[in-house]
Amino acid sequence: MARQDTSSAVGLNDFTTAVFPRLRPDGYRPHLLHSGERMWPETNCYVDLWIEVLNACGVAPEAMLGFTLTQDFEGDQFTFFKVPLEDLESLYGIRVTELAIFDRVETHVETQIARGRLCLVEMDSFYMPDTQGTAYRTEHGKTTVAINRLDFAGKRIEYFHNGGYFQLQGEDFDGLFQLHLADEAPPFLPYTEFAKFPARMPDEERVRAAARTLLGFHFGRRPVENPIRAFAEVFPQQVEAVAERPFGFFHKYAFNTLRQFGANFELAAEHLAWLSASEFVAAVDDARRISEVAKSVQFQLARAVTRKKYDPLRAALDPAADAWDSMMASLKERL
């Protein structure tokens, strides 16, 4: 699919104005990386968002995933993996930079949409209906969305978030943009980026060549020590402490540890398979093994908290740690 024509971006407060004018929430088909059949259908808000934006551009999001090799254990969590902005430019010619917020957020977003630029804004998931069952109207949380359409007068937007493309309106719009704040309240100043797209997306051959170069670069930036083994050393003690916290904290801990490295390596497998399934067959199998173990241990984690038995958790991660060693050794032979 070719990148959507943005020439219809003609004016503010016009809900037909969009960076991707043909997109609509009804009937939107997420990329296969967000298939419900995957071990981790969603990863984290930033990577998921870019998967769908690149899908809308008609280019392969698998190409950007070489950075997954750099994920490390940070002592209390695994790296919240995000595509480096320089990778987006090297691969697709997409330039992303910070957007200064000195006026109302929605005013800046309207201006950029009219110029064919996509704004990525940190929002509160409390006001986002697509988070129904996790955060919507129950819990405040920071997440990133990319706004494709905005109608301030009609109080509605369409946006990329997680593994899909959604819309919201009315009171949710007011909450999202903090329109309920009193005049004397501090201004709403979220961190905002905006993406400038090239006139034409590069062809697949060029994207593949750039992805191969970046894979070698990121392999050189991989952790010196096995991050899963480092996590295994403190995992039982961390879980024991988590068990003393309110149950809602359990989900936050699992998201930032097991889900982060499980989803990360499932995407690493997709990247290597996209580059060359035959060349990287062993590394692909190892990466998927890491992802599978993370999924399995997430269920063991819940049982450990319920039963107050934590020591078996360290050994539970051994297959994933061994797979990480094997994966990196295999890649070293080829890169």
**Tens of pLDDT along 141-169?**
999 999 999 999 999 999 999 999 999 99
**Does 26 fall in a domain?**
no
For helices 260-276 and 204-219, give the axis angle rounded to 10 degrees: 130
Any domain includes 319: yes
Instruction: Find out whether 53 and 195 touch, Cβ atoms under 8 Å.
Output: yes
**What are 54-73's pLDDT values in tens digits?**
999 999 999 999 999 999 99
Residues 104 and 231 in one domain: no
Are residues 33 and 49 in contact, defined by beta-carbon separation less than 8 angstroms?
A: no
Do 71 and 151 have their domain in common? yes
What H or E segment, with its residue span, contains residue 57?
helix 45-57
In a domain, 119, yes or no: yes
In whole angstroms, give the CA distance from residue 335 to residue 113: 41
Which pLDDT belongs to residue 14?
60
* Residue 18 domain flag: no
Shared-domain flag, residues 175 and 232: no
Do 257 and 180 have their domain in common?
no
Whole domain around residue 240: which residue ranges? 225-334
Q: What is the pLDDT of residue 6?
A: 36
Alpha-carbon gap, residue 19 to 250, rounded angstroms: 38
User: Which of residues 196, 215, 234 is at a domain's end?
Assistant: 196
* Residue 22: burial class (beta carbons within 10 Å; 0-12, 13-18, 19+): exposed
According to the model, what pLDDT value does residue 2 have? Answer: 37
* Same-domain pairing of 42 and 155: yes
- Asked if residue 77 belongs to a domain, the reply is yes
Q: Are 260 and 44 in contact (CB under 8 A)?
A: yes
* Inter-residue contact 9 to 29 (CB < 8 Å): no
Residue 81 covered by a domain: yes
DSSP three-state, residue 237:
helix
For residue 204, being part of any structural domain is answered with no
CATH at 120: 3.90.70
* CA dist list (Å): 221 to 63, 71, 76, 217, 236: 18, 9, 21, 7, 28
In a domain, 209, yes or no: no
Looking at the fold, whether 70 and 168 belong to one and the same domain comes out as yes
Same domain, 100 and 239: no
Q: Which of 196, 214, 246 is the last residue of a domain?
A: 196
Q: Are residues 160 and 287 in the same domain?
A: no
Domain count, the chain: 2
pLDDT at position 181: 81
Residue 2: exposure state from Cβ atoms within 10 A (0-12, 13-18, ≥19): exposed
Ramachandran angles phi, psi of 157, nearest 5°: -140, 160
**Same-domain pairing of 313 and 247:** yes
Evaluate whether 153 touches 13 at the Cβ level (below 8 Å).
yes
Distance CA 266, CA 76 (A): 21
Which residues in the chain land under pLDDT 50?
A: 1-12
pLDDT for 74 equals 98
Burial 270-282 (b: 16+ CB within 10 A, else e): bbbbbbeeeebeb
CA distance linking residue 49 with residue 171, whole number of Å: 24
Residue 86: what are its φ and ψ, rounded to 5°?
-65, -25
Query: What one-character DSSP code corresponds to residue 78?
Result: B
User: What local confidence, expressed as pLDDT, does residue 104 receive?
Assistant: 93
